[in-house]
Structure 1
Amino acid sequence: MNKIRAIAIDDEPLALDIIKDYSDKIESLELEQTFETAIEALKYMKDNCVDLIITDIQMPDLNGIDFLKILNKEPFVIFTTAYDKYAIQGYEFKTMDYLLKPFGFDQFYKAINKILEMYQDRHVIAEHPVKESANNFFFVKSEHKIVKIKTDSVLYIEGLKDYLKIVTKEGHILTLMSFRNILELLPQKQFFRVHRSFIVSMNSIDCIEKNRIRIDDKYIPIGDTYKEEFFQQIHV
């Protein structure tokens, strides 16, 4: 499994110590560097790629929000701050979570898990190339049965907490499965994840209106994290 490469920024050394301690307990997370100023982090990022920035907001010289505006390419972001007034502004970015100080390990771990799921979905095709089935079908477990689903019948897939709802032309099927696992079963050219909670069949899209997709009577949002890759996929 690829580890998430992260940096942390906070003008309080104690806060950085806590983040480092929490990070050391998560095997899938590699905290590569910590910085007490955003300016130091900028210098580091000129020569190094990171997947995740864990940053305070209110800092001297350059605050966390202005720091993100400078970046040419924005990684995933977790804001850590003692001031909840920044929450709404923070979500203008690709913010996966907003942790209000003081936060515990359970909150930190939950935030990292959100990012890990999305990170793995992005890399699953590269790491596990999908071999398209000549039969154009796949199997999933649903309740006490194993159900065969024709690939061409799938309209979209929606995440419902621990379950996936596979919506087909005939109806829908609930299965206890992750997005990562379902993507391994689907032809990569036909299906695309457009939101944290949705995968769509490219063949089933009726139209795209601003930042949402219409499939039959269902409107599916296009998440900011997936928008650029999706429009590249459809050559727009």
Structure 2
Amino acid sequence: MPVEPPPTAWTFPDPERFDPDDDLVGVGADLDAGTLLAAYRRGLFPMPGSRRDPMYWFSPVQRGVLPLDGLKVSRSLRRSVRDLEIRVDTAFAEVLAACADPRRPGAWIDRRIRAAYTRLHELGWAHSVETWREGRLVGGLYGVAIGGLFAGESMFHRERDASKVALVGLVDLLRDEHADKRMLDVQWQTPHLASLGVVEVPRAAYLSRLAATLEVPLPAAFDDGLR
């Protein structure tokens, strides 16, 4: 079971006071484990600015969500799924480092984020789903699992389709007897994610569903003790 950290010292804004037209809902606070968990439980997630900027907290007006029965798997992706091996939490640090590679377009994961999510992983809340070929890590993703919520943070690939295969693997892990109550949150819909089945959910609907989602038991893959 994940270890609950000390509670956050910060107070997050009431969702009823969010600007209805702005994804940004808060500035400041810290990235302690208790703060991060409190944020996810209220439908927020952090994004860094520059090294000197405070942390920004977002709750998108239109939230990107992948319905577990809506994942689109092409014929070529099916072949890649057969060719690659899925592992869970065997290389979290390597997945996080690959996602944080500053050479990637749009790189946003800084040392503060890396340290914070490494700590969440140590406590049993953050997880990696990895794709391997012949003992080599070729792709993966990481995110935060709280009850029935999996909040995806980032993914990477070193071979074609390797990150998509990790997503297919994640969806398979979430498809259990509680699948209809789970939620796979990807923050924002992009054209790439839309091609895989990600839809947009209005913020009010997302937040309304979130409370019940958090009460669902963790998937077995994320609830077998600290690694």
Shorter-chain TM-score bucket reads: under 0.3
Instruction: Give the TM-score normalised by the residue count of structure 1.
Output: 0.25
Higher relative contact order (CA 8 A, sep 6+): 2
Greater radius of gyration (CA):
1
Instruction: Give the TM-score normalised by the residue count of structure 2.
Output: 0.26
More strand by share: 1
